Amino acid sequence: MKKITKSIVDPICQLYQDININPSRFVLKRMLKEKPLNETQKLFMDSFKENIKLSKKNKTPLCQDTGHITVFIETPQKFSLDFNLEEELNKRINEKTEDFGFRYSIVDWKGRYNNNVSVYIFQSKRKNLKIVVMAKGGGSENLTRMFTLNPSLSLDEISENVFKSVLEAKDRGCPPYILGVGIGKSALDSTFLSKKALTGKFSYNRKLVEKRIRDLVLKKTKNIKIGYLGLNFGETVLDCRVIVEERHIATLPLTVSFNCYQERVGVLYL
Protein backbone atom coordinates (compact mmCIF):
# COMPACT_ATOMS: atom_id res chain seq x y z
CA MET A 1 0.00 0.00 0.00
CA LYS A 2 1.27 3.45 -0.95
CA LYS A 3 1.20 5.90 1.95
CA ILE A 4 0.80 9.57 1.05
CA THR A 5 2.61 11.73 3.60
CA LYS A 6 3.08 15.46 4.10
CA SER A 7 6.39 15.17 2.25
CA ILE A 8 4.49 15.67 -1.04
CA VAL A 9 3.40 19.19 -0.09
CA ASP A 10 6.71 21.02 -0.49
CA PRO A 11 7.46 19.62 -3.99
CA ILE A 12 3.99 20.72 -5.12
CA CYS A 13 4.62 24.23 -3.80
CA GLN A 14 8.00 24.33 -5.53
CA LEU A 15 6.42 23.19 -8.79
CA TYR A 16 3.90 26.02 -8.44
CA GLN A 17 6.79 28.48 -8.44
CA ASP A 18 8.62 26.74 -11.30
CA ILE A 19 5.67 26.71 -13.71
CA ASN A 20 5.07 30.41 -13.08
CA ILE A 21 8.69 31.36 -13.77
CA ASN A 22 9.63 29.03 -16.62
CA PRO A 23 7.77 29.15 -19.95
CA SER A 24 6.09 26.10 -21.46
CA ARG A 25 8.56 24.42 -23.82
CA PHE A 26 5.73 23.37 -26.10
CA VAL A 27 4.40 26.92 -26.39
CA LEU A 28 7.86 28.46 -26.67
CA LYS A 29 8.82 26.21 -29.57
CA ARG A 30 5.62 26.97 -31.46
CA MET A 31 5.60 30.72 -30.88
CA LEU A 32 9.24 31.33 -31.70
CA LYS A 33 8.73 29.79 -35.15
CA GLU A 34 6.68 32.83 -36.19
CA LYS A 35 8.59 35.67 -37.87
CA PRO A 36 7.29 39.21 -37.22
CA LEU A 37 6.31 41.11 -40.34
CA ASN A 38 5.93 44.63 -38.95
CA GLU A 39 7.02 46.82 -36.05
CA THR A 40 4.04 45.94 -33.84
CA GLN A 41 4.66 42.23 -34.23
CA LYS A 42 8.39 42.69 -33.65
CA LEU A 43 7.69 44.69 -30.49
CA PHE A 44 5.52 41.88 -29.17
CA MET A 45 8.12 39.17 -29.90
CA ASP A 46 10.93 41.23 -28.39
CA SER A 47 8.84 41.87 -25.27
CA PHE A 48 7.89 38.17 -25.10
CA LYS A 49 11.56 37.12 -25.14
CA GLU A 50 12.63 39.85 -22.72
CA ASN A 51 9.92 38.86 -20.26
CA ILE A 52 11.19 35.26 -20.25
CA LYS A 53 14.76 36.44 -19.74
CA LEU A 54 13.87 38.73 -16.81
CA SER A 55 11.61 36.14 -15.22
CA LYS A 56 14.42 33.57 -15.12
CA LYS A 57 16.99 36.08 -13.93
CA ASN A 58 14.90 37.63 -11.15
CA LYS A 59 12.71 34.62 -10.29
CA THR A 60 9.63 36.72 -10.92
CA PRO A 61 6.43 35.34 -12.53
CA LEU A 62 5.93 35.50 -16.28
CA CYS A 63 2.49 37.02 -15.62
CA GLN A 64 1.17 38.87 -12.58
CA ASP A 65 -1.80 36.48 -12.54
CA THR A 66 -0.13 33.41 -11.07
CA GLY A 67 -3.34 31.48 -11.34
CA HIS A 68 -5.77 29.38 -9.39
CA ILE A 69 -4.01 26.12 -8.57
CA THR A 70 -5.47 22.75 -9.52
CA VAL A 71 -3.71 19.58 -8.38
CA PHE A 72 -4.50 16.21 -9.94
CA ILE A 73 -3.15 13.21 -8.01
CA GLU A 74 -3.20 9.83 -9.70
CA THR A 75 -2.62 7.11 -7.11
CA PRO A 76 -2.13 3.36 -6.98
CA GLN A 77 -5.31 1.40 -6.31
CA LYS A 78 -4.25 0.87 -2.71
CA PHE A 79 -3.15 4.00 -0.87
CA SER A 80 -3.56 5.69 2.48
CA LEU A 81 -3.79 9.36 3.40
CA ASP A 82 -3.58 10.22 7.10
CA PHE A 83 -3.76 14.03 6.92
CA ASN A 84 -5.97 16.68 5.31
CA LEU A 85 -4.09 17.20 2.05
CA GLU A 86 -6.12 20.15 0.79
CA GLU A 87 -5.87 21.95 4.15
CA GLU A 88 -2.11 21.43 4.31
CA LEU A 89 -1.62 22.55 0.71
CA ASN A 90 -3.67 25.70 1.28
CA LYS A 91 -1.58 26.55 4.33
CA ARG A 92 1.76 26.01 2.60
CA ILE A 93 0.74 27.64 -0.69
CA ASN A 94 -0.21 30.81 1.16
CA GLU A 95 3.12 30.87 2.97
CA LYS A 96 5.00 30.26 -0.28
CA THR A 97 2.97 32.81 -2.26
CA GLU A 98 4.45 35.53 -0.10
CA ASP A 99 7.94 33.96 -0.10
CA PHE A 100 7.88 33.75 -3.90
CA GLY A 101 6.68 37.34 -4.25
CA PHE A 102 3.56 36.16 -6.10
CA ARG A 103 0.18 37.87 -6.14
CA TYR A 104 -2.71 36.66 -4.01
CA SER A 105 -5.36 36.12 -6.68
CA ILE A 106 -8.09 34.29 -4.75
CA VAL A 107 -10.62 36.30 -2.74
CA ASP A 108 -13.52 35.26 -0.52
CA TRP A 109 -16.91 36.96 -0.22
CA LYS A 110 -15.63 39.18 2.60
CA GLY A 111 -12.86 40.54 0.41
CA ARG A 112 -10.05 38.62 2.10
CA TYR A 113 -7.23 37.36 -0.12
CA ASN A 114 -6.19 33.79 0.58
CA ASN A 115 -4.91 31.55 -2.22
CA ASN A 116 -6.39 28.08 -2.20
CA VAL A 117 -5.99 24.85 -4.11
CA SER A 118 -8.44 22.49 -5.85
CA VAL A 119 -7.34 18.88 -5.32
CA TYR A 120 -8.61 15.88 -7.30
CA ILE A 121 -7.52 12.35 -6.36
CA PHE A 122 -8.26 9.39 -8.59
CA GLN A 123 -6.98 5.82 -8.74
CA SER A 124 -5.23 3.96 -11.53
CA LYS A 125 -2.94 0.97 -11.97
CA ARG A 126 0.15 3.09 -11.30
CA LYS A 127 2.68 1.89 -8.70
CA ASN A 128 3.63 5.39 -7.59
CA LEU A 129 2.07 8.83 -7.44
CA LYS A 130 1.66 11.05 -10.45
CA ILE A 131 0.97 14.65 -9.48
CA VAL A 132 0.00 17.26 -12.08
CA VAL A 133 -0.16 20.92 -11.09
CA MET A 134 -1.88 23.55 -13.22
CA ALA A 135 -2.00 27.27 -12.38
CA LYS A 136 -4.74 28.79 -14.52
CA GLY A 137 -5.34 32.52 -14.86
CA GLY A 138 -8.70 34.24 -14.52
CA GLY A 139 -8.79 35.46 -18.11
CA SER A 140 -8.68 32.01 -19.66
CA GLU A 141 -10.96 30.56 -16.98
CA ASN A 142 -13.66 33.10 -17.87
CA LEU A 143 -13.76 31.68 -21.41
CA THR A 144 -14.94 28.22 -20.29
CA ARG A 145 -18.07 27.09 -22.13
CA MET A 146 -20.33 24.20 -21.16
CA PHE A 147 -22.98 22.81 -23.54
CA THR A 148 -25.67 20.16 -23.28
CA LEU A 149 -26.05 19.21 -26.91
CA ASN A 150 -28.45 17.15 -28.95
CA PRO A 151 -27.07 13.58 -28.65
CA SER A 152 -27.63 12.98 -32.37
CA LEU A 153 -25.13 15.64 -33.48
CA SER A 154 -22.35 14.67 -35.87
CA LEU A 155 -18.67 15.11 -35.00
CA ASP A 156 -18.54 18.06 -37.37
CA GLU A 157 -21.42 19.73 -35.53
CA ILE A 158 -19.80 19.00 -32.17
CA SER A 159 -16.52 20.57 -33.34
CA GLU A 160 -18.49 23.59 -34.57
CA ASN A 161 -19.43 24.39 -30.97
CA VAL A 162 -15.76 24.39 -30.01
CA PHE A 163 -14.94 26.58 -33.01
CA LYS A 164 -17.65 29.08 -32.09
CA SER A 165 -16.32 29.18 -28.52
CA VAL A 166 -12.97 30.35 -29.87
CA LEU A 167 -14.63 32.96 -32.08
CA GLU A 168 -16.57 34.23 -29.08
CA ALA A 169 -13.44 34.29 -26.90
CA LYS A 170 -11.63 36.62 -29.29
CA ASP A 171 -8.47 37.89 -27.56
CA ARG A 172 -9.90 38.10 -24.03
CA GLY A 173 -7.83 35.21 -22.62
CA CYS A 174 -4.33 35.99 -23.94
CA PRO A 175 -4.05 33.86 -27.09
CA PRO A 176 -2.59 31.76 -28.61
CA TYR A 177 -4.87 29.29 -26.87
CA ILE A 178 -4.63 25.68 -25.86
CA LEU A 179 -8.05 24.01 -25.75
CA GLY A 180 -9.22 21.23 -23.48
CA VAL A 181 -12.40 19.50 -24.63
CA GLY A 182 -14.31 17.13 -22.34
CA ILE A 183 -17.22 15.13 -23.73
CA GLY A 184 -19.41 12.58 -22.00
CA LYS A 185 -20.63 11.33 -18.63
CA SER A 186 -22.45 14.20 -16.88
CA ALA A 187 -22.24 17.98 -17.19
CA LEU A 188 -20.02 18.02 -14.09
CA ASP A 189 -17.78 15.26 -15.42
CA SER A 190 -17.36 16.89 -18.82
CA THR A 191 -15.89 19.95 -17.09
CA PHE A 192 -13.47 17.78 -15.14
CA LEU A 193 -12.49 15.93 -18.32
CA SER A 194 -11.81 19.21 -20.12
CA LYS A 195 -9.49 20.33 -17.31
CA LYS A 196 -7.67 16.98 -17.36
CA ALA A 197 -7.26 17.21 -21.13
CA LEU A 198 -6.01 20.78 -20.84
CA THR A 199 -3.01 19.71 -18.72
CA GLY A 200 -1.71 17.52 -21.55
CA LYS A 201 -0.54 15.01 -18.93
CA PHE A 202 -3.34 12.44 -19.11
CA SER A 203 -4.64 10.24 -21.92
CA TYR A 204 -6.12 12.44 -24.64
CA ASN A 205 -6.50 12.30 -28.43
CA ARG A 206 -5.94 8.53 -28.32
CA LYS A 207 -9.35 7.32 -29.41
CA LEU A 208 -10.31 7.70 -33.05
CA VAL A 209 -13.25 9.93 -32.14
CA GLU A 210 -10.96 12.20 -30.10
CA LYS A 211 -8.49 12.53 -32.96
CA ARG A 212 -11.27 13.32 -35.39
CA ILE A 213 -12.70 16.08 -33.20
CA ARG A 214 -9.22 17.53 -32.65
CA ASP A 215 -8.50 17.57 -36.39
CA LEU A 216 -11.82 19.23 -37.16
CA VAL A 217 -11.30 21.91 -34.51
CA LEU A 218 -7.74 22.71 -35.62
CA LYS A 219 -8.85 22.86 -39.24
CA LYS A 220 -11.73 25.22 -38.43
CA THR A 221 -9.64 27.49 -36.18
CA LYS A 222 -6.59 27.63 -38.44
CA ASN A 223 -7.68 30.76 -40.27
CA ILE A 224 -9.22 32.68 -37.38
CA LYS A 225 -7.70 36.16 -37.52
CA ILE A 226 -6.98 36.67 -33.83
CA GLY A 227 -3.39 35.54 -33.33
CA TYR A 228 -1.01 36.41 -30.51
CA LEU A 229 -2.80 38.73 -28.07
CA GLY A 230 -5.22 39.69 -30.85
CA LEU A 231 -2.50 41.09 -33.12
CA ASN A 232 -3.57 38.94 -36.12
CA PHE A 233 -0.09 37.46 -36.04
CA GLY A 234 0.69 33.79 -35.49
CA GLU A 235 -1.64 30.91 -34.62
CA THR A 236 -4.78 31.50 -32.59
CA VAL A 237 -5.03 27.89 -31.33
CA LEU A 238 -1.83 25.93 -30.66
CA ASP A 239 -3.42 22.65 -29.64
CA CYS A 240 -6.77 20.95 -29.01
CA ARG A 241 -6.79 18.11 -26.47
CA VAL A 242 -9.90 15.96 -26.32
CA ILE A 243 -11.15 13.33 -23.87
CA VAL A 244 -14.36 11.48 -24.73
CA GLU A 245 -16.14 9.14 -22.32
CA GLU A 246 -19.43 7.25 -22.30
CA ARG A 247 -22.67 9.19 -21.82
CA HIS A 248 -26.36 8.67 -21.26
CA ILE A 249 -28.19 7.99 -24.53
CA ALA A 250 -30.30 11.15 -24.06
CA THR A 251 -27.45 13.56 -23.28
CA LEU A 252 -24.30 14.96 -24.87
CA PRO A 253 -22.44 17.18 -22.37
CA LEU A 254 -19.51 19.14 -23.80
CA THR A 255 -17.15 21.52 -21.99
CA VAL A 256 -14.47 23.64 -23.62
CA SER A 257 -11.67 24.91 -21.35
CA PHE A 258 -9.06 27.41 -22.46
CA ASN A 259 -5.49 27.99 -21.41
CA CYS A 260 -3.46 31.06 -22.29
CA TYR A 261 -0.03 30.97 -23.90
CA GLN A 262 1.74 30.73 -20.53
CA GLU A 263 0.40 27.14 -20.09
CA ARG A 264 1.54 26.80 -16.50
CA VAL A 265 1.49 23.01 -16.09
CA GLY A 266 3.98 20.71 -14.40
CA VAL A 267 4.23 17.07 -13.34
CA LEU A 268 5.84 15.17 -10.46
CA TYR A 269 6.38 11.43 -10.05
CA LEU A 270 6.82 10.37 -6.41
Per-residue pLDDT reduced to its tens digit, 31-87: 999 999 999 999 999 999 999 999 999 999 999 999 999 999 999 988 898 899 999
- Average pLDDT over the chain reads 95
**How far is it, in rounded angstroms, from Cα 266 to Cα 69?**
11
Determine the Cα–Cα distance for residues 35 and 26; give it in Å rounded to an integer. 17
pLDDT at 138 over 90: yes
What per-residue confidence (pLDDT) applies to 252?
98
Question: Would the pLDDT of 183 be above 90?
Answer: yes
Q: 3-class DSSP state for residue 6?
A: helix
Provide the pLDDT for residue 11.
96
| DSSP codes of every residue in 121-162 | EEE-S-SS-EEEEEEE-HHHHTT-EEEE--TT--HHHHHHHH
For the chain, first and last CA: distance in Å? 14
Phi and psi, residue 244, nearest 5°: -115, 130
The CA distance from 212 to 154, in Å, is: 11
Rounded to an integer, the average pLDDT of 104-117 is 90
Asked whether the beta carbons of 66 and 139 are under 8 A apart, the reply is no
Enter the pTM of the model. Answer: 0.95
pLDDT over threshold 90, residue 30: yes
Give the pLDDT confidence score for residue 2 in this predicted structure.
84
Neighbouring C-alpha atoms within 13 Å toward the C-beta of 170: 2
Q: What values do phi and psi take at 132, rounded to 5? A: -115, 125
State the Cα–Cα distance between residues 129 and 8, nearest whole angstrom: 10
| Cis ω for the linkage preceding 36 (within 30 of 0) | no
> Cα(112)–Cα(250) distance, rounded to whole angstroms?
43
Radius of gyration of the chain (CA): 19
CB 96 within 8 A of CB 13: yes
Confidence at 1, pLDDT banded by 50, 70, 90: confident
The pLDDT, as a whole number, for residue 69 is 96
- For the chain, give the percent of residues with pLDDT over 70: 100
CB 127 within 8 A of CB 76: yes
| Chain segment 146-156, per-residue pLDDT in tens | 999 999 999 99
Across the range 157-173, mean pLDDT stands at 97
Q: Look at residue 112 and tell me whether its pLDDT is greater than 90.
A: no
